[in-house]
Amino acid sequence: MKLMNAKGVRDFPPEEKIIRQKVVDTLRETFEEFGFNPLETPEIERFETLSSKYAGGDEILKEIFKLKDQGGRKLGLRYDLTIPLARFIGMNPNLKMPFKRYEIGRVYRDGPIKLGRYREFWQCDVDTVGSKSMLADAEILAIADRGFKKLGLKTVIKINNRKILDGILLSTGVKENKWIDAILSIDKLEKQGKNEVKKELEQKKIASTSKIFKLIQKKENNKKTLDNLKSFISNDIGKEGIAEMEELLKLLKSFKVSVDFDPSLARGLAYYTGPVYEVFLEKSEIKSSIAAGGRYDEMVGKFVGKEDAYPATGISFGLEVITDALSSKEKKKSVVDVYVIPIKTTSESIKIAQKLRNSGIKIDMDISGRGISKNLNYANALDIPYVIFVGEKELKQKKVKLRDMKTGKEQLLSINNLVKKLKK
């Protein structure tokens, strides 16, 4: 038997998993600081749920991993965390609203494999269900801002509003039944460029493209972009979108979060109804968004069968791409703080290791009875920062010898002083 992974899925050895966990822990902490509670939904859903017409749509339907249980029931692996959220809400009508939850977990898409595209990946989602307030959107953006700051990543948060896009299209004479088609084409602007999008719009029989491009163009700053739109858009939907944008920008000022209003930002999902947002890295090789979301006031209600009952907004963080952005500089091979080398002192070394653990220090210890140089090689290979030697000579003085693996410096220390030094 040849040992190999299934196609499109991966192992994460410690040096990669450590950084993935750091990202997940940081996001979790941020979500909780904003009062979001954890929810866990299963990875297996009924196929009927995943393929509901209000769910992910045809493109995603093709990519569902299908399975059956022994009872012959049709099942599938979830492809996002939003459909399970909608199902959970429908099954729990007595939930207190607004329901603010986060979920971090794996999702699956049986699609083509490319660089950076896998069949099993993690999403970190945070959503507020049951509030139409722009304050809910402002919180989501403040989470993105805070989460990335904690991770040490410099980002640009782009925002727009689907109602503004609708207003632009209405004001340029595009018929309502073509709005979503047009918006899904505009979504490709960043990737495919103006000419390609123009061609696509014309194929879709949307004429006034140059007028559209003029309106979705960004001006020098958020205020000027808004002023420009205000002078052209007089329809209700567009004005509503502009008012939401003004309120959102005002709230974000209180949160001290800077955003970049970009009327060309569209987002590639049909279900968005209000603010939409995408987060990009500043000056990075990584050009795709590292978190994205928006307001979807109708999706959950339609899914659940109670129209308008569940306005919602949320964002999804892409664990893989965030980890890629961090890993070049922050890769660690081991969580271990100190490696203990007993020199014929197993029992005493165990006791010392246990004492250090009681101070929360992460301790590995030679269990193989190797010689000193092999042990040092091992600690080196795993990038463990400190080694302590526990010999009988040292024990007589109630001390151990600490070696800083970077500098090679050694120091004789009591256990208490060792703890003090390591906890600094």
Q: Which residues ranging from 131 to 160 are in contact with its own copies (CB under 8 A)?
A: 131, 133, 135-136, 138-139, 142, 146
Binding mask 329-358 for its own copies (x = CB under 8 A): -----xxx--x------xxx-xx--x--x-
Q: Which residue has the tokens 């567009």?
A: 238
Residue 342 is encoded by which pair of tokens? 């007993």
Which of 5-13, 188-196, 285-293, 409-417 is the region at the interface with its own copies (rule: CB under 8 A)? 5-13
Contact 232, 157 (CB under 8 A): no
Looking from the CA of 157 toward its CB, the CA atoms found within 13 Å total 29
Element (H, E) at 383: none
φ/ψ of residue 69, rounded to 5: -90, 180
Q: Which residue has the tokens 């559209």?
A: 212
Burial bucket for residue 400 (CB in 10 Å: 0-12, 13-18, 19+): buried
Nearest Cα to Cα of residue 368 among 360, 383, 354, 379 = 379
N- to C-terminal Cα separation, the chain = 50
Report the site for its own copies in 96-135 (rule: CB under 8 A).
96, 98, 100-101, 106, 108, 110, 119-120, 128, 131, 133, 135
Q: What does the chain come to in residues?
A: 424
Which of 65-73, 170-178, 398-406, 412-420 is the region at the interface with its own copies (rule: CB under 8 A)? 65-73
Which one, 166 or 364, has the nearer CB to its own copies? Answer: 364
Which one, 45 or 394, has the nearer CB to its own copies? Answer: 45
Which of 89-97, 170-178, 191-199, 223-231 is the region at the interface with its own copies (rule: CB under 8 A)? 89-97
Burial bucket for residue 234 (CB in 10 Å: 0-12, 13-18, 19+): exposed
φ/ψ of residue 53, rounded to 5: -70, -15
Report the site for its own copies in 11-40 (rule: CB under 8 A).
11-14, 16-18, 20-21, 32-35, 37-40
Q: Quote the least distance from Cβ 4 to its own copies, whole Å.
A: 7
Which one, 217 or 254, has the nearer CB to its own copies? Answer: 254
174: left (phi over 0), alpha (psi -120 to 50) or beta: beta
Which of 66-74, 285-293, 323-331, 413-421 is the region at the interface with its own copies (rule: CB under 8 A)? 66-74
Binding mask 357-396 for its own copies (x = CB under 8 A): x--xxxxxx-xxx--------x--xx--------------
Which one, 181 or 383, has the nearer CB to its own copies? Answer: 383
In DSSP notation, 307-353 reads TTS--EEEEEEEHHHHHHHHHHHH--S---SEEEEESS-HHHHHHHH
Which one, 231 or 358, has the nearer CB to its own copies? Answer: 358
Element (H, E) at 103: strand 99-108
**Residue 91 found at the interface with its own copies (CB under 8 A):** yes
Report the site for its own copies in 239-268 (rule: CB under 8 A).
250-251, 254-256
Report the site for its own copies in 184-213 (rule: CB under 8 A).
none
Binding mask 269-308 for its own copies (x = CB under 8 A): -----------------------------------xx---
Cis before 98 (ω within 30)? yes
Which one, 67 or 207, has the nearer CB to its own copies? Answer: 67
Which of 90-98, 174-182, 188-196, 265-273 is the region at the interface with its own copies (rule: CB under 8 A)? 90-98
Which one, 111 or 208, has the nearer CB to its own copies? Answer: 111
Q: Quote the least distance from Cβ 2 to its own copies, whole Å.
A: 8
Element (H, E) at 232: helix 222-232
